[in-house]
Amino acid sequence: MIKKVLYGSAIVMMTTISCKKETVMEKTAQPGKRFAALEKANWFLGRWENNAPEGNLSEIWKKQNDSTFSGESYFVIKNDTVFAETVSLEEQNGKLSYVVTVPNQNDAKPVAFELTSSEANTLIFENPKHDYPNKIIYNQVGTDSLVAEIRGRKDGKEKNEFFRMKKK
């Protein structure tokens, strides 16, 4: 009799645990959920470059999962990487963030810029609390080019920098 009770309890416990695992997995996978804000940035995906006499700028974007794109950007002069950063586009609760980490800045902690404006070919991310830049703009130019722009106050003056790239 004790064996039957223990055996029955074990089956009930295993069934309960199994059901709980499915519920957690369903929440994580979120089948069929659309991430509309991130979909606006599908044109980011791929490799973008600007090979100029000053050096080579590359930006590479990949789809990490349904709600996140991961990217890396680096500038190389004569086989020496003089600047590198990792970036992610993350959609959470319908909001899109551009999250950037630069090894020698902000104690290598990520800094988030929230999407403040989007049109068919333009995405604008802002973080008014960040020193420089506090605005990042991506403009798609045709199907094979983009211009990334950073803006803000640097050394007490307004500054804009433009990064033109072609898809490779």
Residue with more model confidence, 16 or 98? 98
The DSSP code for 137 is E
Instruction: Using alpha carbons, select from 69, 20, 27, 22 the residue that is nearest to residue 44.
Output: 69
Q: Does residue 2 have a pLDDT over 50?
A: no
CB 111 within 8 A of CB 129: no
Could you tell me the two tokens for 13? 């416990």
Q: Are 44 and 89 in contact (CB under 8 A)?
A: yes
Please tell me whether residue 14 adopts helix, strand or coil conformation. helix
Q: Minimum mean pLDDT among 7-21, 35-49, 64-78: which range? A: 7-21
Look-up: residue for tokens 């960040």? Answer: 130
Confidence of residue 5 (pLDDT cuts 50, 70, 90): very low
Long-range Cβ pairs for the range 128-134 (8 Å, 24+): 132/159, 133/161
At 71, which helix (H) or strand (E)?
strand 68-77
* pLDDT surpasses 60 at 137: yes
